Amino acid sequence: MAFSSLNEFFAMGGHAVYVWAAWGVTALLMLVIVWHARQERRQLLNVVKRRARRENAQRNAQPSHAQPLQEPVNSAQKDVHHDA
Amino acid sequence: MHAPQGGLMVAIKATLKRDLTLMLRRRGEVLNPLVFFALVITLFPIGISPDPELLASIAPGLLWVAALLAALLSLDSLFRSDYDDGSLEQLLLAPQPLAALGLAKVAVHWLLTGLPLALMAPLLGIMLSLPAGSYAVLALSLALGTASLSLIGAIGAALTVGLARGGVLLSLLVLPLYIPVLIFGAGAVQAAIFGEGIAAHLAILGALLALALMLAPWAIAASLRISING
Amino acid sequence: MWAFINKLRSPKWFYAISAKLQPLFWVAATLLLLVGTVWGLAFAPADYQQGNSFRIIYVHVPAAFLAQSIFVSMAVSGLVFMVWKIKVADMVATVMAPLGAAMTFVALFSGAVWGVPTWGTWWMWDARLTSMLILLFLYLGVIALRGAFSSRDSGSRAASVLAMVGVINIPIIKYSVDWWYTLHQPATFTITGRAAMTMDMWAPLLIMVLGFYSFFIALTLMRTRSEILRREANKRWVRELAEETN
């Protein structure tokens, strides 16, 4: 332990402003980065889910017309079943 | 089957000739960087001080920075008109390697911007009371350095030619890459003023140019392909 | 080797494997950063000349290392993308760029703050700070270029080319800046230039460096997974996956 008391630790031998500013900004930035990444992931998952739900609903409404081109027919039927 | 050996040289010569003719027809575009160079150099004594001693001490850096910016200014038009009229697409379709044809275009660019800037710099050096004995080095270092600048800058110009507002982006891409050339170019002039050896600086400028000559054409070709093929 | 590259072609495979790897790196990053922070801030001895302001080294140096490594990784990913047309490589390069710029900023900020007790000024044209500033501009250029294209594929390829051009220039820039600095400021003291560090000063630094690298890997895996969701949202497996994770 390089410090004999907690006060001394926070004072950093008179360099408190500099040490804590550098560490604080670094920590804050890293936390913001992680928070942003989580937010991004949650949002994208929501978008994908909403799109899946919407397309399933469309398929339920008009099963023969509303299929996207790349979807084979049988898989669309599986989806209908899955949703119900 | 295209002409096997002579084909490349013919194509390079044709590109050189065509670009030279086109550029010489638009004299304004050739003169603009030179006028810009002179103007920027005029601004410094007005903005800082007319004191000859002060000006002499910062002249190498000022001249180099102003020449670098003037060269940058001319980059945007390097591929622009060829892109607009579709002749760049023809260049891509040509059987000769695009890197070689791109190099020919860069050579013309240097001949009509870098070289005139280098020749004009000693004149502006007099106006900044640049110490005697460094004028030849100034011109030489600029002639060598602007060749690297044209090569590196052409990569940026090729990357941004397809973009509507590529101008500002171009300077962001290119200026950081110009820093080594600036350091050794201005360093050469400074060394000449202090009477130190200039061979090392010029050798490094030459090495930078050799490296740029080897690598930049490939990057230019790849960038042109990206810009044209969307 | 080829089997591995072929597997990398599939975002689905990457999505699955990264789900397994990601927690490992998050745990490693958290542990290393916590241990390194406590050790570096409280237990490492103060520098005999700089006193406690020396503790800034434990964020400045790892951030500077990472800033440079990320640019290199970005260029390598760009090369892999250009040569083998592996989409995942481009996604990795996309998500790395902002983190690299952030780390460059951290290195610059901590260096500037460190400058106050050491040089008595917020900014010095110190060799390391100057190259970091140039690196920041290189990052901003890559990010801006990618964003300037309306087609994602063109933007990706342009950013890859620029990252490769940049990575060839980084050592040249670094050496020329070092040379320029020694020429103009021969007597000035560089903040991290001395090797007078004892073992109990080195150990926390090493731990922090490893922690920063783990953080980088964990975050890159996580954000690449998001990027896969973004770009492959139309794919069947992505939708099935979204329904599973309800």
Q: How confident is the model over C178-229, as pLDDT tens digits?
A: 888 877 654 444 555 555 677 788 889 999 999 999 999 999 999 999 999 9
Question: Which residues, listed in sequence order, are joined to residue C47 by a DSSP beta bridge?
Answer: C51
- pLDDT tens for residues B162-210? 888 778 899 999 999 999 999 999 999 999 998 888 899 999 999 999 9
Buried b (16+ CB within 10 A) or exposed e, C56-85: bbbbbbbbbbbbbbbbebbbbbbbbbbeee
Name the pLDDT band for C245 (thresholds 50, 70, 90): low
pLDDT of residue B66: 96
Question: Would you call A2 helix, strand, or coil by DSSP?
Answer: coil
- pLDDT tens for residues A12-32? 888 888 999 999 999 999 999
Inter-helix orientation angle C57-84/A16-61, to 10°: 30
Total H helices, total E strands in chain B? 10, 0
The pLDDT of C81-93, averaged and rounded, is 93
The pLDDT of C101-126, averaged and rounded, is 90
Name the pLDDT band for B230 (thresholds 50, 70, 90): low
Query: And the tokens for A32?
Result: 């913001």
Question: Which residues, listed in sequence order, are joined to residue C51 by a DSSP beta bridge?
Answer: C47
- For residue C75, is pLDDT > 90? yes
> For residue C82, what is the nearest residue in chain B, using CA coordinates?
B222
Residues of C in contact with B230 (CB under 8 A): 151, 154
Q: Which residue of A2, A40, A70 is in closest CB contact with C45?
A: A2
- For residue C121, is pLDDT > 90? no
Average pLDDT, chain C: 88
* Amino acid identity for residue C86 in this structure: I
The residues, ordered by sequence, that sit 6+ positions from C34 with a Cβ below 8 Å of its Cβ are none
**Which parts of chain A register pLDDT below 70?**
62-84
> What residue ranges do the domains of chain C occupy?
64-188+198-232
Cβ-Cβ contacts under 8 Å between B and C: the total is 75
> What residue ranges do the domains of chain B occupy?
6-229
Residues of B in contact with C183 (CB under 8 A): 187
Q: Do C172 and B208 touch (CB under 8 A)?
A: yes
Name the pLDDT band for C166 (thresholds 50, 70, 90): very high
Q: Which residue has better confidence, C192 or C177?
A: C177
Q: Are B205 and C180 in contact (CB under 8 A)?
A: no
Provide the ipTM.
0.90
Q: Do B180 and C137 touch (CB under 8 A)?
A: no
* Amino acid identity for residue B193 in this structure: I
B188 φ, ψ (degrees, to nearest 5): -60, -45
